[in-house]
C-alpha cells in the first residue's frame, strides 16, 4: 500500500433520504475502521512473519466485523423504511439506534487500542487517535429510553416475561 489512505474508498452515500443520521454513523464507522486498519497494515507491512502480529490482525478483523454488522443492520432498517415508511418502523429504529451506539463504542475502543499498540507514544499517535475520535468518538447517546420502548413492545407482544 503506497500513498495516502483514501477514507472514502468503498464507502457509497445512500441515494435515499431514510435513516440519514444512522447512515452517517455507519459511514463514519467505516472511515474510522479504514483509518485504523490502514495505519496498522502500513505499520506492520515490512515486519514479517504475520505470526508476530496476530493480535493486530485480530483487532483489524474485529473492526471489519463491527462495520459489517452496522452496515447490515442499517440496510435492513432502510429496506423496512422503504417498504413501510420511516414513521411505521419506530421499533426497528429504536433497535437500530441502540445497536449502532453500542457497536460504535466497541469500534472506537478497538481502533484506539489498535493504534496505541502499534504507534509510538507521541504526536503521530495523538493525531491518528484524534481522527478516530473525531469520526466516532461522539458524546454518548441516551439508550435507556429506546431500550424501555423496546422492552414495552416485547412485553405487549408477549415475547418477554418480566
Q: Where residue 120 sits, what CATH number does that domain have?
A: 1.20.140.10
pLDDT of 26-50, one tens digit each? 999 999 999 999 999 998 987 776 6
For residue 11, tell me if it sits in a domain.
no
For residue 14, tell me if it sits in a domain.
no
- Statement: residue 129 has pLDDT above 90: yes
For residue 91, tell me if it sits in a domain.
yes
Q: Could you tell me if 28 and 19 are in contact, meaning their C-beta atoms sit under 8 angstroms apart?
A: no
Note the pTM of the prediction, 2 decimals.
0.83
How far is 153 from 162, CA to CA, in rounded Å? Answer: 12
- Domain extent, residue 72, equals 20-156
Shortest CA distance to 31 belongs to which of 55, 2, 10, 3?
10
DSSP characters over 53-103: GHHHHHHHHHHHHHHHHHHHHHHHHHHHHHHH-GGG-HHHHHHHHHHHHHH
Shortest CA distance to 62 belongs to which of 11, 120, 9, 103?
103
User: Distances from the Cα of 156 to the Cαs of 22, 77, 86, 119, in angstroms?
Assistant: 26, 22, 22, 51
Shortest CA distance to 42 belongs to which of 97, 98, 113, 119?
119
For residue 111, tell me if it sits in a domain.
yes
Neighbours of 131 (CB within 10 A): 19
Q: How many domains does the chain have?
A: 1
For residue 36, tell me if it sits in a domain.
yes
pLDDT, mean of residues 146-159? 90
Average pLDDT, the chain: 87
Amino acid at each position: 500500500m503506497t500513498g495516502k489512505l483514501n477514507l472514502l474508498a468503498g464507502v457509497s452515500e445512500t441515494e435515499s433520504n431514510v435513516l440519514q443520521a444512522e447512515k452517517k454513523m455507519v459511514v463514519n464507522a467505516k472511515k474510522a475502521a479504514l483509518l485504523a486498519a490502514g495505519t496498522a497494515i502500513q505499520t506492520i507491512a515490512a515486519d514479517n512473519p504475520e505470526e508476530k502480529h496476530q493480535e493486530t490482525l485480530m483487532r483489524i478483523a474485529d473492526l471489519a466485523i463491527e462495520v459489517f454488522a452496522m452496515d447490515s443492520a442499517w440496510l435492513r432498517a432502510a429496506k423496512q423504511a422503504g417498504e413501510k415508511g420511516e414513521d411505521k418502523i419506530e421499533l426497528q429504529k429504536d433497535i437500530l439506534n441502540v445497536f449502532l451506539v453500542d457497536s460504535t463504542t466497541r469500534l472506537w475502543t478497538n481502533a484506539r487500542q489498535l493504534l496505541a499498540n502499534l504507534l509510538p507514544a507521541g504526536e503521530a499517535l495523538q493525531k491518528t487517535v484524534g481522527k478516530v475520535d473525531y469520526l466516532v468518538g461522539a458524546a454518548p447517546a441516551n439508550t435507556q429510553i429506546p431500550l424501555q420502548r423496546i422492552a414495552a413492545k416485547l412485553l405487549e407482544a408477549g415475547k418477554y416475561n418480566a
